[in-house]
Structure 1
Amino acid sequence: MANLPFQILTTLGHRAKNELIEQTKHPLATQEKYLKTLLQHHQKTELGRHYHLEEIKTIDQFRSRIPILPYSAYDPYTQRIAQGEKNVLTPDPVIYINITSGSTGKQKKIPVTQRFQNSLGKANLASMGFLDTALRQRGKKLEKLLVTNPALIRGYTEGGLKYGPAGPGVLHTRKWLYEWLFAHPFTTLQVADSFTRTYLCLLFSLRNEELGGLIANFPMLILRICHYLEKYAESFIQDLERGTLPKDLDLDSKMRSRLNRRFSASPKRARELREILNTEGRLTPPLAWKNLAYITTARGGTSDFYLQHFSDYDLDHLPVFGGAFASAEGTFSVYTDVNNDASALAVNTGFFEFIPESEWDQENPQTLLATEVKPGERYRILVSNYSGFYRYDIGDVVEIGDFFEQSPTLIFRHRRGGILSSTSEKTTEAHVIAVLRSLQEEWGMTIHDFFVTLSEKEFPPHYLLNIELPPESKLEESSHFLRRFDELLKETNPHYALKREGEVPPPRLRILAPGSFDIVRERLIDRGVPDSQMKLPHISEDRQLFKGLTVQQEITLET
């Protein structure tokens, strides 16, 4: 009986995986069928009547008659849906409003229907099927999971609809399943305070020595789990010995009572963990859980820098699975294997179009279909799906990796606008992450975190490389470090190399005080960004976000 949830999950997952594989063999037919079904279902909505969806019979007609629109065009409609109006964007009842993180722009409201959620659920199940296959090839299998994402509904709209991040909306629809799958009570995810929630998830999970996987939206959150496990190891062990929850956790009396009923002493497990702590001098996930088999977290984009830090906690031998490339607006692709940045287009969750880089500045850009894109090229991705958005520009830039069967694989690179230019050289996050990876290897050191921005008072402005070092660390040969940053960025971004010949002034290096990036994260949380959805940028022109940080040392580069 204990394995029943995993049997259900893997059976459904393999069924969804096999269905997706078949559909990726015929992507154009699958996409055309999806689009026709979508248009027929939505033709009598307000927006459907406005665009005369009943008259559109082909993909070409759809692309010629429906404009490419950003979120701002849909905002008036989603506001009305939030107030309770029906049949605006979708004929189905709206059961939830997904709120985007807002970490890279204004928060958006995405209407969720059961049909929309079910269509995306197919992709999530398929990803589980692919993960199970990868684990079995390595002699492993799905076991209990540790998750720290909050399962909190943020509130209710004027029309009485629940709203919040996409994650809680999904979690609550299948609470019975997650209660079995998680190594900690579902109730722990309903704790508002981030530190308390993470601590409790770890504490309950430490009781289970058979934990199999760690899951978090972003690698930075996996690193936080590791940091807490190491920093509070003694406290965790004492809690397991006593069988009581710490008194200083931020819990109201009702929540504390509910969790206390689920927690009890585990002296045998406490002895095991204390022996590990005494022998190794620290607790890391692989030391605490010998059966730990994988990590599921985002890959590509800002994630790449944090994945490098997994070795700090002996996680580098564990396979890292991307799950699905998704946002509040939809699911775009599914990872088919571990340790891979490319994921197969989810041809059954939406109708997708791609804007080639040569068309990005055009008012009415020409788009390509899934069968027309080329490996190595970058595109903006458009989606039409059961949220009621058509040809919606989500603002993400993807690179085509290769093809899975006959469908393209996507590698997330950066958000549209996630570009830094002193003049017109267009440096991306991928550029600076690659440079910092090389610098860390050359110096044999770890940088805690970094961001690149532009100086305020000069024109053209200087690049400012801001780094925070680990506690008690020192950067040797800082001037040479900055020079190598400049040289490597020239190699990585040819446009930067060209502009540095005469237009772009030399970069500067600023070493920030310890704790600087904690301050930045707190600022984002104060803006309303949930910590589980936080994507800390590595390039930014938002001076307010990084304003006022203590600079311990500033190094300039002579021309």
Structure 2
Amino acid sequence: MDGKKLEYKGEEALKEIERLTAKADEVQKNILKEILSRNSETEYLIKYMKGSKNVLEFKRGVPVITYKAIRPYIQRIVNGEDSSLITGHSITEMLSSSGTSAGEPKLMPSIAEDLDRRTFLYNLIMPVMNQYVPGLDEGKAMYLYFIKAEMSTPCGIPARPVLTSYYKSKHFKCRAKDPFNDYTSPDQAILCNDSNQSMYCQMLAGLIHRHKVLRLGAVFASAFLRAITFLERNWVRLCNDIRTGHLDSMITDPECRSCMSTMLLSPDPCLANEIEDICSCVTWKGILCQLWPRAKYIEAVVTGSMAQYIPALEFYSDGKLPLVSIMYASSECFFGVNLKPLCDPADAAFTLMPNMGYFEFIPLGENGTMLMNVSEEEEVSNEKLVDLVQVRLGCYYELVVTTFAGLYRYRIGDVLQVTGFHNKAPQFRFICRRNVLLSIDNDKTNEEDLHKSITVAKKLLEPYNALLVEYTSYPDTSTVPGHYVLYWEIGLHGSSKADLGFAINDYNINKVLKECCIAVEEELDYIYRRCRAYDKSVGPLEIRVVEAGTFEELMDLFINQGASINQYKTPRCIKSKAALKLLNSHVKASFFSARDPKWVP
């Protein structure tokens, strides 16, 4: 990638967006030609194209694949064979996926210039945001970023999450020249391998600079809410640090101690008292606006499964801070940006930048009815795929990507819907991950349907001042017939976190949770309801209410197993035995649907 593109800032970045999207078809053709030109001699492409660089040969002969097909090549490279198995470039690192959506981390090949592409997309964000929220260069961003300790493959290639790779890169470390990238968190705190110490120092820095903070955020909404929970547990200690001018002894990392000691140059009892008065309030509703009064928005992914966290974020901000999902990216490839970042989260649409990779799409129908017709492991005919500029408004697609680093016609697993176009480039709404399913018999429940049904059911809790904090699910086949199990963590509005509880034994609460069970089932699709009410092949849905803090422990479990705190997403369908054991050990009460869902033949 032309290094000059890293220089695009301000108006130049906006002009580059216009240029790329106006010629999206031409840019895409050139990207594919360049990929084939560089990689035609790889073992993988020779197998299907016999050394040809012809685009038509690629489209005719190279199959659509999942990770299962490319994994043997990646394993060979990990074990010491040459990168030329799949790419004409040296593979500089393997990027590990979060491993929480599909249940197992995957290793994705990455080359040096991939960092240039990611930086290019990052450089588009602030020019886009500044159109809607001017003056963001006049203060700081309290963004909570974390790294994961990297591993080394048998041949010495580092393996790490994509965000860890970026935060450790020169592109991130050299951002100081850009006034839009003035963060409250010192680099030493972000780059600390101990996530607990990192969180403490970043939160302390954010509180010290509270009157300079113009924007708040984390990569995912779940990580930002985890930070709020951390603050609820530790604000007394943080205030003590500010009051005394001395860092808590729990911070043992030398780099963290050094950078934070510089920030705590002298005692500041006035600031400590301000924070203490706010944090000691009975309710934390709107606390974000009180602690950071100049904040203009919260930036975090709140699309897809992250939409579950919107009510909690709105509670803590009292609905006064817009929730911004600005970028669409994955470990495999960075894709695009949201050109209308202040839109309602439900309407967030991402314009795919045609220079990031070569994009194709598996059609899934005009109204979502075909979403189940192409399973993850089913072979997809090459003739089915359509190019970026050929997608149709309103239709659903699964994204397929070809990269310089050695992924060819690789199924990302994301289901997207076309909501519009910016010039010739389509804009997509993220719908769900295809591979998150509940199934007992003929029923097939995807992530979007599960989320929609729970969104309806949880409204029954509102009259009781209750909030669904978090959820996941599990297809329990230990019973006959099997049934869906939902794990719900429930809290009460208007209470401090320490006092949160849920009166499970209260008759009305008991009754409403049974009603929630049937409300979920009523919103699930026709096939599920038929299996429940007519075929009797699926048993009554069960909600297991778990103790407060259970999902935070679940997050800790996955992080300890190798997931990155940045990339962590609560798995909406549990596959891990250890995770199930943890959830079941914290169940306070269990409720079942009292009747069959309505079903009309």
What is the correspondence of 1:249-268 to structure 2 with a 5 Å cutoff? 249=251, 251-253=252-254, 255-257=256-258, 259-265=260-266, 267=268, 268=270
* Larger deviation, residues 431-440 vs 278-287: 278-287
Structure 1 residue matching 2:174: 3-state secondary structure: helix
Q: CA deviation at 1:491?
A: 3.4
Structure 2 residue matching 1:297: 3-state secondary structure: strand
Q: CA deviation at 1:98?
A: 1.2
In the alignment, residue 549 of structure 1 is paired with which amino acid? S
In the alignment, residue 19 of structure 1 is paired with which amino acid? E
- Pairing 1:552–2:552 present: no
The match for 1:329 is: 332
- Pairing 1:160–2:165 present: no
* Larger deviation, residues 37-46 vs 482-491: 482-491
In the alignment, residue 226 of structure 1 is paired with which amino acid? I
What is the correspondence of 1:305-384 to structure 2 with a 5 Å cutoff? 305-314=308-317, 316-338=319-341, 339=343, 340-357=347-364, 358=370, 360-361=374-375, 362-365=378-381, 366-384=384-402
Q: CA deviation at 1:199?
A: 1.1
Structure 2 residue matching 1:468: 3-state secondary structure: strand
Query: CA separation of 1:164/1:157 partners in 2, compared to 1, >3 Å: closer, same or farther?
Result: same
The match for 1:172 is: 168
Q: CA deviation at 1:245?
A: 1.0
Structure 2 residue matching 1:490: 3-state secondary structure: helix
1:20–1:348 Cα contact (<8 Å) kept = no
1:507–1:557 Cα contact (<8 Å) kept = yes
Q: Take 1:11 and 1:142, find their aligned partners in 2: how far apart are those partners? A: 20
Query: CA separation of 1:182/1:425 partners in 2, compared to 1, >3 Å: closer, same or farther?
Result: same
Query: CA separation of 1:19/1:355 partners in 2, compared to 1, >3 Å: closer, same or farther?
Result: same
> Residue 466 of structure 1 is aligned with which of 487, 490, 497?
487
Q: Deviations over 1:243-277 (max 9, x none)?
A: 1110123x245653454345323515334434545
* Larger deviation, residues 400-409 vs 183-192: 400-409
Q: Take 2:289 and 2:50, find their aligned partners in 1: how far apart are those partners? A: 54
Q: CA deviation at 1:549?
A: 2.3
* Larger deviation, residues 429-438 vs 27-36: 429-438
> Residue 216 of structure 2 is aligned with which of 214, 217, 224?
214
Structure 2 residue matching 1:106: 3-state secondary structure: coil
The match for 1:135 is: 133
Q: CA deviation at 1:9?
A: 9.6
Q: Take 2:461 and 2:573, find their aligned partners in 1: how far apart are those partners? A: 22
> Residue 123 of structure 1 is aligned with which of 109, 112, 121?
121
Q: Take 1:10 and 1:481, find their aligned partners in 2: how far apart are those partners? A: 55
Q: Deviations over 1:448-477 (max 9, x none)?
A: 222222223234312222212222223534
Q: Take 2:303 and 2:281, find their aligned partners in 1: how far apart are those partners? A: 36
In the alignment, residue 444 of structure 2 is paired with which amino acid? K
What is the correspondence of 1:47-58 to structure 2 with a 5 Å cutoff? 47-52=44-49, 54-58=51-55
The match for 2:245 is: 243
Task: Provide the alpha-carbon RMSD of the alignment.
Answer: 2.8
The match for 2:69 is: 73
Q: CA deviation at 1:102?
A: 1.5
Query: CA separation of 1:465/1:108 partners in 2, compared to 1, >3 Å: closer, same or farther?
Result: closer
Structure 1 residue matching 2:85: 3-state secondary structure: coil
Q: How many aligned positions are there?
A: 548
Structure 1 residue matching 2:356: 3-state secondary structure: coil
Structure 1 residue matching 2:105: 3-state secondary structure: coil
Structure 1 residue matching 2:468: 3-state secondary structure: coil
- Pairing 1:230–2:232 present: yes
Query: CA separation of 1:290/1:266 partners in 2, compared to 1, >3 Å: closer, same or farther?
Result: farther
Structure 1 residue matching 2:301: 3-state secondary structure: coil
Q: Take 2:129 and 2:84, find their aligned partners in 1: how far apart are those partners? A: 38
Structure 2 residue matching 1:217: 3-state secondary structure: strand
- Pairing 1:434–2:430 present: no
Q: CA deviation at 1:514?
A: 2.9
Gaps of 5+ in 1: 1-7
Structure 2 residue matching 1:371: 3-state secondary structure: helix
- Pairing 1:510–2:555 present: no
| % same residue | 22
Query: CA separation of 1:53/1:147 partners in 2, compared to 1, >3 Å: closer, same or farther?
Result: farther
Structure 2 residue matching 1:408: 3-state secondary structure: strand
Query: CA separation of 1:99/1:491 partners in 2, compared to 1, >3 Å: closer, same or farther?
Result: closer
Q: Take 1:517 and 1:128, find their aligned partners in 2: how far apart are those partners? A: 33
